[in-house]
Structure 1
Amino acid sequence: MTALPRALAAEVVGTAGLLAAVVGSGIMAQRLTDDVGVQLLANALASVAALAVLIALVAPVSGAHLNPAVSLAQAVRRDLPWPHLPGYAVAQVAGGVLGVVLANLMFDLAPLDLSTTARPGGGRWLGEVVATAGLVLVVGHVSRGGRGDRAPWLVAAWILSAYWFTSSTSFANPAVTIARMFSDTFTGIAPGSVLPFILAQVAGAAVGLAGIRLLVPDTLENP
């Protein structure tokens, strides 16, 4: 398998694993307790643990973007060739939907079930801007200067914190947002809420890129 197909396969597998963890842990938490705070804590811890492992596994193959907003930012920074961006985005969305199907089936639910959980409001959209901006900034930090070994724990740490301090619980990922539309469970998002979330994530990626220009030296040298 040549480099690009192998990278796209890695993005499918990595994003599928991430969504299986996000949605599956949400279903498990919802079945074990009625306490919403405990549900969110269980969902957050399982999701970020899986994310850290998946980044470590697939980063050597594809860079472990697992996120079209991250891939877009990497293309803007010329760390991903622009012609590769559409393939990365399609692979991430396809992997995300596959992971949701897997999670639903593991818990004896319909493979695809549109969510009825609306997530409206400017506060949530602002939360997505903040969560995505921070994620893009972290990725910009670790992708330059020989810091790649920090990616699993730094990215996971940011997402864990953003689960709790943002009003949106930090989707921060268009592929995750689209995929979570297909599970009517704790982590779902209604179709009508998807586009505003994605627009907020794109805006967040732009803010994150501005932050990189300010805070991250444009060099491959160790600091």
Structure 2
Amino acid sequence: MTAYFDLPRRLAAEALGSALLLAVVIGSGIMGERLAGGNVAIALLGNTVATGAGLVVLITVFGPISGAHFNPAVTLVALLRKEMSTRDALLYPPAQVAGAVAGVWLAHAMFGEPILQISTRLRDGPAQMLSEAVATFGLVVTILGAVRFRPDFTAVAVGLYITAAYWFTASTSFANPAVTVARALSDTFAGVAPASAPAFILSQLVGALLATGVFGWLLKDQDRP
């Protein structure tokens, strides 16, 4: 029998999962930078492994409760595919953003950093924007394909994709508007300047919409000739 979770519990799961995700992203970035001795590649590797592993766990735990979106772009895709109501789709993103910001503050507290920060790390230019569109396109494709063909593998697939996308995109694959907003509030290794955030978010939404259209067509059932 499939368990049913009411809206308050689903929103709490989205907020808590987003908080833990950002604690992983920011915390591992700080730890990686402190231990890497100035080697940015090593710092990024630590940040990457922790984020990919954390995603697998968080999606496994929170997926049965809320769907484990942790991402307004994923929620938008679910709405467009009529997999959730408009009411829920409007309420998920505030919970995701609030949780993500709380996760950033938690990471700062754990590492003795000032709680309130604004990132100064500019990530501008067409290459960064293209990277975010590609990163989000690939994330949505991963989710839709895994849910359709290997639903039990979805958490692992998403974790592996984000691990790879950290390295094959110039932007290190934020692929998430809530993550982008939250990372603008951390002047640490994983931060992004607020001035760069709007273009990131726009690119992420474009990537998500493109993936929805393309995979909606690819996965559409047809009668055999």
TM over 0.5: yes
Output the amino acid matched with 1:104.
H
For 2:146 and 2:14, the matched residues in 1 are separated by 18
Q: CA deviation at 1:98?
A: 0.5
Cα distance, 1:9–1:126 mapped onto 2, change above 3 Å? same
Runs of 4+ in 1 over 2 A off after TM superposition: 142-145, 214-219
Q: CA deviation at 1:83?
A: 1.4
1:124 to 120, 124, 128: 128
- Contact 1:180–1:188 at 8 Å: present in 2 too? yes
1:94 to 91, 94, 98: 98
Q: Which residue of 1 aligns with 2:112?
A: 108
Q: Which residue of 1 aligns with 2:68?
A: 64
Cα distance, 1:102–1:65 mapped onto 2, change above 3 Å? same
Q: CA deviation at 1:143?
A: 3.0
Q: CA deviation at 1:213?
A: 1.7
What's the RMSD between the two structures over aligned residues?
1.4
Q: Which residue of 2 aligns with 1:159?
A: 162
1:148 to 147, 151, 160: 151
2:58 to 54, 58, 61: 54
SS at 1:191 equivalent: coil
- Contact 1:144–1:218 at 8 Å: present in 2 too? no
For 2:62 and 2:141, the matched residues in 1 are separated by 20
Q: CA deviation at 1:2?
A: 5.8
TM-score, normalised by the number of residues in structure 2? 0.93
1:84 to 79, 83, 88: 88
SS at 1:55 equivalent: helix
- Contact 2:5–2:65 at 8 Å: present in 1 too? no
Output the amino acid matched with 1:171.
F
Q: CA deviation at 1:141?
A: 1.7
TM-score, normalised by the number of residues in structure 1? 0.94
1:21 to 18, 21, 24: 24
Q: CA deviation at 1:81?
A: 1.2
In structure 1, runs of 5+ residues without a counterpart are none
2:181 to 159, 162, 178: 178
Q: CA deviation at 1:218?
A: 5.6
In structure 2, runs of 5+ residues without a counterpart are none
